[in-house]
Amino acid sequence: MPPRPARDPERTRARILAAALAEFASRGLAGARVDAIAAAAGVNKRMLYHYYGHKDDLYNAVLQDRLERRGASMASAPDDPLRTIEMFQREVREDTDWVRFLMWEALEQTESPLVGECERQSKCATAVAMIERMQANGFLPGAHPAHLALSMMAMVLWPYAFPQFARMMTGLDPASEEFLEARLAFFRSLTSGARAAPAPESSRRQKSGGGEQSRSKPTRAKAHRRDP
């Protein structure tokens, strides 16, 4: 007997995606089991296939869903580096399955291009553009923007990608509120120091020009004394 149509298709889709993310984060694409995803979502395999097709299709759907969420988050990110880092740190802490999903992707998807690579490159470009706006406001203006964006991502992701090292280094559980508050305090001190970076090149040229002008005055005065 065929299953009854879902009363709330969107909610059913969301449950399937959440269950699939957890399974892929735990076992990777190769090791994930569709029947385990269906059971965790509270649906049968037939309904799962109806909504998302086979396992590869479901994997792609999970990836696309997360990319859309991250894109929306990026679009709403402030240009202030501290507030941006804090926002992303809180999001990552609540979504460690996504971190593990990406780690499995790095292990399994060794060939290029990646799933959705063009779209993902576009989002990376958006992240770099956001960093460039921060630099225009005085945040580490001399740093390479792409490498700065990558480093900021690493700071946010690393404790949840390798929680064992975070625990051994800090003595705190990365899942705890205490660790989060300590991490945010670290970001505050770090960004405060970064604001003290050297002035942009245009500012230095202006100061240099002023110095040259002041040095030229004694020359004119000396020439004046030679006049009869």
Assign residue 152 the CATH number of its domain.
Answer: 1.10.357
**Within-domain flag for 205:** no
In a domain, 217, yes or no: no
Query: In this structure, are 142 and 32 located in the same domain?
Result: no
* Domain presence at residue 208: no
Do 84 and 184 fall within a single domain?
yes
Q: Which among 44, 45, 40 is positioned nearest to 17, based on CA atoms? A: 40
Quick one: 18 and 100 in the same domain? Answer: no
Quick check: is 31 in a domain?
yes
Based on the domain organization, do 121 and 169 belong to the same domain? yes
Say whether both 161 and 105 belong to one domain.
yes
Looking at the fold, whether 28 and 94 belong to one and the same domain comes out as: no
For residue 134, being part of any structural domain is answered with yes
- Domain harbouring 62, CATH code: 1.10.10.60
Q: Are residues 125 and 17 in the same domain?
A: no
The count of domains in the chain is 2
Question: Residues 64-120: pLDDT tens digits?
Answer: 999 999 888 888 888 899 999 999 999 999 999 999 999 999 999 887 788 889 989
Can you give the three-state secondary structure of the chain, one letter per residue? CCCCCCCCHHHHHHHHHHHHHHHHHHHHHHHCCHHHHHHHHCCCHHHHHHHHCCHHHHHHHHHHHHHHHHHHHHHCCCCCHHHHHHHHHHHHHCCHHHHHHHHHHHHHCCCCCCCCHHHHHHHHHHHHHHHHHHHHCCCCCCCCHHHHHHHHHHHHHHHHHCHHHHHHHHCCCCCCHHHHHHHHHHHHHHHHHHCCCCCCHHHHHHHHHHHHHHHHHHHHHHHHHHCC
Residues 112 and 82 in one domain: yes
**112 lies in the same domain as 138:** yes
Q: Which of 45, 69, 93 is the last residue of a domain?
A: 69
Digits of tens for pLDDT over the chain (228 positions)? 455 554 689 999 999 999 999 999 999 999 999 999 999 999 999 999 999 999 999 999 999 999 999 888 888 888 899 999 999 999 999 999 999 999 999 999 887 788 889 989 998 999 999 999 999 999 999 999 999 999 999 999 999 999 999 999 999 999 999 999 999 999 999 888 776 444 555 544 554 444 444 444 444 444 444 444
Q: Is residue 222 part of a domain?
A: no
Residue 228 within a domain: no
Is pTM beyond 0.85? Reply is no
In a domain, 211, yes or no: no
Residues 65 and 84 in one domain: no
What residues make up the domain containing 147? Answer: 77-196
Same domain as 82, residue 43: no
Q: Would you state the pLDDT for residue 227?
A: 45
> Which of 17, 52, 69 delimits the end of a domain?
69
Do 22 and 90 share a structural domain? no
